[in-house]
Amino acid sequence: VAAADIVIIIIIAKKLFDHYYLEYYIVYYLHYSTTNKGVRLDIHYLKTCRSKDLIPGFLWFKTANDNLKSSPQYRESQRRLLNAEIDYKYQHHNNVKTSYETSLSLLKERCSESIFQQLQEILITVCKPILDKKKETIEKKLRALGYFGELKPKVDRDVVKNLSTRILSDDQIDCLAHGLDFGLLPKHFDNMNVAAHTERFFHNVTNIYQNQKALRDDMKKKDVTIPNGTRLLNSNELTLA
């Protein structure tokens, strides 16, 4: 984050809230918030390269001759270095995430909820152009490597209004913007878990049938009028329904 941006935020915070001690926590939070998202973008770039078998520019190193550069061993070395870089980025992300959460907690403790919400809006306004520029840079790098990506449906993020104090990631906002009938496929499918839920479902269907049958018999005894065409479904019919 540019020093000028930090100065602007501090000046705005002082004028709006008259809390001079906030400047230190704002700087920490701004730095780690932007760095956290920036490292996630780096990981996305590196993992895209790995999944598409692309080699980033920083992994093309000099060799004694062209034969070595075209050898399978050279290519394998590049892949190993790429995996090592991804592992390092994940470690770095975990460290930055811890610092980010700490700075966030400190900022919440030192100011009221209303002030925190206003600071959030200011910080998002300042950080968004920085992250957008980084995204554009990554997209240019991928295009230079011959990868143009899959077409993704555009969503209107403005329809999502976060009224809580929890900070939502871009992926979470995109997911919510698709609507309430949108869901994500699980990464892992647990067969045993599905079987257990299916057995519980059939057991519950049987219980529903028995309860409804007892209720209907009780209604008949009390001469309660039952509309014509209404009948009780048995267990098999309930399952099909």
Whether 33 and 101 have beta carbons less than 8 Å apart is answered as: no
Query: Does residue 59 come out as left (phi exceeding 0), alpha (psi in the -120 to 50 range) or beta?
Result: alpha
Residue 167 is classified by DSSP as P
Nearest to 42 by CA among 99, 98, 2, 92: 92
Instruction: Return all residues near 82 (Cβ < 8 A) that are at least 6 apart.
Output: 46, 49, 50, 55, 56, 59
Query: Which residue is associated with the tokens 């925190």?
Result: 116
**Structural domain spans, the chain:** 3-150, 154-184, 191-240
The residue among 121 and 84 whose pLDDT is bigger is: 84
pLDDT at 124: 74
pLDDT digits (tens, 9 = 90+) for 21-37: 566 667 777 778 888 88
Number of Cβ within 10 Å of residue 136's Cβ equals: 10
pLDDT digits (tens, 9 = 90+) for 137-169: 998 999 898 887 754 556 787 888 888 878 887
pLDDT at 89 over 80: yes
pLDDT at 81: 94
Nearest to 84 by CA among 63, 59, 62: 59
Nearest to 146 by CA among 39, 70, 40, 53: 53
Number of Cβ within 10 Å of residue 234's Cβ equals: 12
pLDDT at 116: 76
Q: Give the residue-averaged pLDDT of 199-226.
A: 68
The residue among 42 and 237 whose pLDDT is bigger is: 42
Which spans in the chain are helix H? 3-17, 22-51, 66-69, 72-110, 113-144, 170-177, 191-221, 235-240
Nearest-angstrom CA–CA distance, 1 and 128: 11
pLDDT at 123: 73
pLDDT at 151: 47
95 CA to centre of own chain: 18
What's the chain's average pLDDT? 76
Nearest-angstrom CA–CA distance, 98 and 36: 9
Helix 22-51 and helix 3-17, axial crossing angle in degrees, nearest 10: 140
